[in-house]
Amino acid sequence: MNRSLSWFNVTSLVLGFAFLYIPILLLVLYSFNASRLVTVWAGFSTQWYAALLENDQLLDALWVTLRVAFLSSLAATVLGTLAAIALTRYGRFFGRTMFSGMTYAPLVMPEVITGLSLLLLFVAVGMERGFWTITLAHITFTMCFVAVVVQSRLITFDRTLEEAALDLGCTPLKTFFVITLPLILPAVLSGFMLAFTLSMDDLVIASFTTGPGATTLPMRIYSQVRLGVTPEINAICTILIGIVAVVVLLASVLAKRQEKMRRRAEQIAARG
């Protein structure tokens, strides 16, 4: 579908994006406020960023969060990719319906249920709660997101490429690493990024499955927010948004460059 935009369409877009972005912009703006009051502008200042560096609790939480996110998204990428292959490639197998159910259900499962059930599991098996239980919990719910992302790439994957490799004498395992994986890598990487962000972002599941000594950044932010709104939180939020913005921008610039090269190549091919 591709037709001209009416004034109604343009208005929907402008209002929609204003709704999505104004709260974030205000948040960023007031992280540079000189006043302790979050809603009254009193001049530009970076004092809250300086204060962040003094806040050991917050920095500790950030470190825990990054470690959990890195480990869990790495494992989730492997498990999710395997699940995606099983679901797209292996046709029917015993218990397939249950498997696909377990893969898609966590996408919409209310977090309180996932969190509570995992906590009760860890208690039942007598596992000491903390860093590792959060990591296990995050692997479980983020691997399903990876599976969906990779699966949607795999269904459009041209399987004759794999058959061609087999035909030319390449073993199935080697074919996966030499042909399939390089070609689905963008999807696997965006699955990884998604898992990383979801893990960094999670408050509820981490709160259920954590133990003494392992406080993640969202948990720390949450407990501070409950005490009241402070510019310090605005500052840390701004940093997080900044990191995401830079990464996304970089990814899109790279994608655009690749697209441009592909277009040029097609033009060359058309002429040749």
State how far Cα 171 lies from the chain centre: 34
Q: Output the six-digit token pair for 53.
A: 């560096």
Q: How far is the CB of 87 from another protein (least distance, A)?
A: 7
Judging by beta carbons within 10 Å of its beta carbon (0-12, 13-18, 19+), is residue 167 exposed, middle or buried?
Answer: exposed
What ranges in 168-216 are assigned the alpha helix state H?
A: 172-175, 181-201, 204-209
Which residue, 172 or 213, is less far from another protein as judged by CB?
Answer: 172
Q: How far is the CB of 105 from another protein (least distance, A)?
A: 6
Which residue, 56 or 167, is less far from another protein as judged by CB?
Answer: 167
Q: Within a 10 A sphere around the Cβ of 88, how many other Cβ atoms?
A: 17
Which residue, 213 or 242, is less far from another protein as judged by CB?
Answer: 242
Q: How far is the CB of 97 from another protein (least distance, A)?
A: 9
Q: Output the six-digit token pair for 196.
A: 């990383």
State how far Cα 125 lies from the chain centre: 29
Contacts of residue 137, Cβ cutoff 8 Å, sequence gap at least 6: 114, 115, 118, 205, 206, 208, 209
Which residue, 53 or 124, is less far from another protein as judged by CB?
Answer: 124
Q: How far is the CB of 176 from another protein (least distance, A)?
A: 9
Q: How far is the CB of 13 from another protein (least distance, A)?
A: 5
Which residue, 53 or 269, is less far from another protein as judged by CB?
Answer: 269
Judging by beta carbons within 10 Å of its beta carbon (0-12, 13-18, 19+), is residue 190 exposed, middle or buried?
Answer: middle
**Backbone torsions φ then ψ of 44, nearest 5 degrees:** -80, 140
- Give the separation between CA 26 and CA 17, rounded to whole angstroms: 14
Which residue, 46 or 258, is less far from another protein as judged by CB?
Answer: 258
Which residue, 5 or 254, is less far from another protein as judged by CB?
Answer: 5
Q: How far is the CB of 47 from another protein (least distance, A)?
A: 18
Q: How far is the CB of 28 from another protein (least distance, A)?
A: 9
Which residue, 42 or 225, is less far from another protein as judged by CB?
Answer: 225
Do residues 146 and 194 touch, judged by C-beta distance below 8 A? yes
CA dist list (Å): 236 to 206, 220, 224, 240: 19, 11, 12, 6
Q: How far is the CB of 54 from another protein (least distance, A)?
A: 21
State how far Cα 261 lies from the chain centre: 28
